[in-house]
A and B are shown apart, each in its own frame.
Chain A
Amino acid sequence: MRSLLRTPLGPARGSLDTSLVRDSSLVWLASGVVGVSFGAISVAGGLPVWVPVVMSLVVYAGSAQFSAVGVLLAGGGPVAAAATGLLLNTRTLAFSLAVADILGQGRLARLLGAHLVTDETVAFALAQSDPARRRAAFWISGLGLFAVWNLGVLAGALAGDALGDTGTYGLDAAFPAVLVALVLPALRANPAVRRCALLGAGLALAVTPAVPAGVPVLVALAGLVGHGRGRGRTA
């Protein structure tokens, strides 16, 4: 069943780490810039520098951080801010189940690895072709992303709003594009998963105007009803 996302991203084994680093580095770059904007927006909104910096280290979830700070700056109070962020992060529970056997056996690997579970790192890991490569992808992508994200936030919090609107660089399109590149092989290879994913995405889009952020992707899981018993096995 781990063969859902079968097609390897880069050339095979020999250049394992090189191709993983090359592909990850683009996500690091984009995330670093978004981190800078998160730090800058938080400080520009009136929060002290340590708030975005500490938050990024201990929460480490981009969309939840933006939403929680947004609620806080809008005067929504800490409970509403935390609830909004937590709702967005419920999906990490499902992701943690999906990557549980990738992290490694040791207690430390599991405790550390759990903190590194993000959309991009999970997508990177699951897109690899064999267990060794999945583990390498998870740790390379995860540790690099953690470092770059936090450095970016620190730089943004200290420098203020020097970048301007990151939409100018088309960065908001880069993140969905990363996911497109990573999930397309699985969608191609597995008709059952493709059915579920399309149904789920349709449901998520349909409810987006009506429900709080974070709920649409949870609703998408209902798309799994399209996963017929036994038909999901891939080649």
Chain B
Amino acid sequence: MSAAVAMILALAVGTYAFRLVGPVLHGRVVLSPRVQELLSAGAVVLLVALLATGALTEGGGFAGWARPAGVLVAGVLAWWRAPFPVVVLGAAVVTAVLRATGLA
């Protein structure tokens, strides 16, 4: 199992290094308001890209209709300012029902 140990160690150290960049730089490097603005925008861009690829794709291909249909319902509910639990459960229920009934 030394292969698993090597993999876990490399992944853990590398991931922690990524995560430490922000907290370590904070207070040491003064970022211009413009850069800070871009960092915040960048976080939103990443999150939207994650949700788009997560909603539509699986393993590089199309994820099927049930999942994006559920996420679309979540989008509509969120647009109407439905409470957070309603948005999330709405997506899961729609996707589960579409699959259970064989509709998508």
Q: Give A residues with C-beta under 8 Å from B.
A: 1-2, 4-5, 9-10, 22-23, 26-27, 30, 47-48, 51, 54-55, 58-61, 64, 68, 72, 77-79, 81-82, 85-86, 89-101, 103, 110-111, 113-115, 117, 119, 122-123, 126, 167-184, 186-187, 190, 192-193, 196-198, 200-201, 203-205, 208-209, 213, 216-217, 219-221, 223-224, 227, 229, 232-233
Chain B interface SS verdict (over half): helix
Contact at A200–B49, with CB atoms within 8 Å? Answer: yes
For residue B30, CB closer than 8 A to chain A, the reply is no
Name the residue among B51, B63, B92 with the largest chain A CB count within 10 angstroms.
Answer: B51
Q: A81-B7, A180-B74 are in contact. Are A59 and B12 (CB under 8 A)?
A: yes
Q: Note all chain B residues with C-beta closer than 8 A to A170.
A: 66-67, 70, 91-97, 99
Residues of B within 8 A of A81 (CB): 7, 11
- Our count of residue pairs bridging A and B at CB distance below 8 angstroms stands at 289
A81-B11, A177-B87 given; name 14 further pairs at CB < 8 Å. Answer: A10-B84, A64-B11, A72-B7, A82-B10, A86-B11, A94-B39, A96-B19, A96-B20, A99-B43, A176-B52, A176-B91, A180-B51, A216-B53, A224-B42
Most chain B CB atoms below 10 A, which of A64, A100, A184: A100
